[in-house]
Homo-oligomer: A and B are copies of this chain.
Amino acid sequence: MKIGFIGLGNMGGPIAANLIRAGHELAVWNRSPDKARALVEAGAHLAASPRETGAGRDLVFSMLADDAALDAVLAGPSGLIAGLRAGALHVSLSTIAVTTAERTAAVHAEHGQRFLCAPVFGRPEAAAAAKLYVVAAGDPADLEAARPALLALGQRVFVVGTAPSAACLVKLCGNFMILAAIESLAEAMALAEKGGIEPAQLLEVLTGTLFDSPIYRNYGRIMLEGRFRPAGFAAPLGLKDMRLVAQSAEALRVPMPVLGVLRDHLLQTVATLGPEADWSEIAATVARNAGLRR
């Protein structure tokens, strides 16, 4: 399949590589082109603009840091909107706001183009191993068209609705729950540690009983070892996601008190440990607030 790929950061890079490995023909673009080098060596064509990335392609993926980056890539004379032919499909893999998804869907529709949201769960390691989980929403025919490519980058595709923005809301719910699990585990571990329990022992009990799931095992190990850097998912990006959750919560009138705790701990983490912190480093903030130095 002739695929365009925009955004080659620490998620987009390995995903694009998997698409090449699966036999797709790729045109790639990134704001700083040096990130494209390895992909070009693997056979990708380096496009000069988002517009050129979309030209003549049936399908273009985007994986960008935030909603503003998506807007910048879409608009203007060298933007993706200008490059895509009618009927071509844009699949956004990033976690974007529900309102951004709605606006982007409308703009593509005006130009006779098609649009899906298909944000993914997983950190860079999972992206490299093609083990991402894909949460997709949009027109069923478009989903069918995108499915082979989506299966080349992840282990399972969940379809959650016919409006593209539905996938964004589900993804935001998931990210909220991941961070909520990290926060709860961090509070419990700080309590146990100050009470003389080995944190590793607490974690063994939890993951050996009711919390036998990747989220607690993986982040639990990160906390035990204090191995937060280099960040797999930087705290400012986590903060951005939690802001998007809060925007939906405000628009939909849903009180979410745990969300407030998460945002405050992310803010404290960035304010005191710096913007290079991982989002799971809120666990270090929780421990420090209890007087533990780790």
A-side interface residues toward B, CB under 8 Å? 98, 121, 133, 135, 156, 158, 160-161, 163, 166, 169-170, 172-174, 176-178, 180-181, 183-185, 187-192, 194-198, 201-202, 204-206, 208-216, 239, 243, 245-246, 248-250, 252-261, 263-265, 267-268, 270-272, 286, 288-291
Contact = CB atoms under 8 A, between A and B. Distances in A.
A216 B135 CA distance: 19
Number of copies: 4
Contacts of A243: 250
Contacts of A258: 180, 183-184, 187, 258, 261
Contacts of A198: 160
Contacts of A176: 184, 187-188, 191
Q: Main SS of chain A's interface residues?
A: helix
A198 B255 CA distance: 19
Contacts of A181: 181, 184, 211
Given A184-B177, A194-B253, A268-B290, A263 B260 contact: yes
A188 B255 CA distance: 10
A254 B160 contact: no
22 contacts: A133-B205, A133-B208, A133-B209, A158-B201, A169-B191, A170-B202, A172-B191, A173-B189, A173-B191, A173-B197, A177-B185, A180-B180, A187-B254, A187-B257, A190-B256, A191-B245, A191-B248, A195-B248, A253-B291, A257-B257, A268-B289, A271-B289
